Structure 1
């Protein structure tokens, strides 16, 4: 009996050692008394709510739980694509508007150089595009209009977005139709020298920034200076024709070099020096100046 008891104790001790070394009952360090860790050679059951590990040994994304209200819908239908809506409307000014105008110009809906400003001319061009393609003619760009335009046009080049050629003239403001007038449109970014409703010459112009805007309204040429330097900014202002408390039409070398990438401090910049020089000789003090959208 003593020998049998000794043999039984030896067998039990050996079994205990085997259990500890395989990890069957060993508690993982720091686990706080949770479920026992499965042996390294066994396949661990996937925890509830997760998928088995992928082929690279990393856990894959959790599988949807049956209690998750989105589980059935996400499994039966793909996730919606991100929205590509771009809303543009009258009064907006941005590089997206410039791209819009360039794309409309490719289709002959917009007949001037892109300005980046969404005004009545752009709204009319958008309406024409919408009606031609069976869309509501709202004159504003919603996601459907934008996607349809992208589908039938190509990405504008740098020259298409900011061409160096002269901008097409805007329809003259009614105030420009009589007398001698410098008719200046902010929408088309043009200056038209008009006499009794007839355009004598025209040129591209640039205006002040949001912080130093060019004033709008009806003015008169107060005085002229062929060679002038700003007393505030100390920059040259050749062929200046002053019309409103220090604001003037004048040549800008910065406009000639950088185009519409810059802005004035409120003056009307001209980039064609030869055209402005000829205009300077024709304009007289007292001639009308109309700045309009």
Structure 2
């Protein structure tokens, strides 16, 4: 199966959804569409994404829909198999749709405190961060890349306790520009990878350079940060 041969691939990013995924994952040229007797390990999740009955069965409608999805996104061979690459693209698209749906009201549920004055909020479930002052949105929301399994970004109310514009990690020996530390070595900082690149950070709140430089000019040492929710898979 094409999915199985590319199990480690899902560093897709936004461009992988805008341009053909064939370019993003190095898939082979299109092959003739064909069926498969294997439903794939992500069949139920794929059914839910597609709005089909979630029964895990290899129905004709499921097979055709998954073949069409794989074909649109350049996943080869063009078969009705719901493997890790197929689900990886679906999961990424679902996350991006949820992020877009937030619009300019990321704190609609009131989960991030509004009585703290200026505060940076990090919602792990939707992988978004923003800055608010009371109920007023000051900046964002912006996509962020948070901790992977085993290195979860810790939740709770924190404070920016140290800032270093040109920090280099003493543990991983990698640059962490515009670092603003929140506790236990975890920090906001610029990262040179896609915010959708799996599996995630080692606990830091990774940001694009643009977002990180803006955050550098807003929160200051002693300002509050609230991290809440749970990143799926952690």
Same fold (TM over 0.5): yes
2:206: which partner in 1? 269
TM-fit CA distance, 1:199: 2.2
Q: 2:176 aligns with which of 215, 237, 259?
A: 237
Matched residues in 1 for 2:151 and 2:55: separation? 31
2:69: which partner in 1? 155
Does 2:145 match 1:213? no
User: In the TM superposition, what whole-angstrom CA distance separates every residue of 1:83-130 from its partner, at most 9, and x where no partner exists?
Assistant: 789686xxxxxxx4xx567646xxxxxxxxxxxxxxxxxxxxxxxx88
Matched residues in 2 for 1:190 and 1:274: separation? 15
Q: 1:199 aligns with which of 114, 117, 137?
A: 137
| Contact map agreement 2:122 2:130 (CA 8 A) in 1 | yes
| Contact map agreement 2:47 2:56 (CA 8 A) in 1 | no
> Structure 2 unaligned runs (5+)?
1-36, 75-88, 230-234
2:81: which partner in 1? none
Matched residues in 2 for 1:231 and 1:273: separation? 21
Does 2:142 match 1:190? no
TM-fit CA distance, 1:262: 3.8
TM-score, structure 1 as length reference: 0.47
SS in 2 for 1:187: coil
Change (3 A) 1:190 1:147: farther
| Contact map agreement 1:86 1:142 (CA 8 A) in 2 | no
User: In the TM superposition, what whole-angstrom CA distance separates every residue of 1:197-240 from its partner, at most 9, and x where no partner exists?
Assistant: 22222211111221211111111111211110011111100111
- 1:137-156, aligned counterparts within 5 Å? 141-143=54-56, 150=62, 154-155=68-69
Matched residues in 2 for 1:103 and 1:278: separation? 37
> Structure 1 unaligned runs (5+)?
1-80, 89-95, 105-128, 131-140
TM-fit CA distance, 1:151: 7.8
Change (3 A) 1:165 1:87: closer
Matched residues in 2 for 1:142 and 1:177: separation? 43
TM-fit CA distance, 1:274: 1.6
Q: 1:226 aligns with which of 135, 158, 165?
A: 165
SS in 2 for 1:282: coil
Change (3 A) 1:161 1:233: same
1:29: which partner in 2? none
Which structure is higher in strand share?
Answer: 2
| Contact map agreement 1:172 1:183 (CA 8 A) in 2 | no
Aligned length: 166
2:228: which partner in 1? 292
Matched residues in 1 for 2:132 and 2:38: separation? 51
TM-fit CA distance, 1:246: 1.0
User: In the TM superposition, what whole-angstrom CA distance separates every residue of 1:123-172 from its partner, at most 9, and x where no partner exists?
Assistant: xxxxxx88xxxxxxxxxx5448x969948955263776546979334545
Matched residues in 2 for 1:186 and 1:262: separation? 14
Higher Rg = 1
Larger RCO: Structure 1 or Structure 2 (Cα < 8 Å, ≥ 6 residues apart)?
A: 2
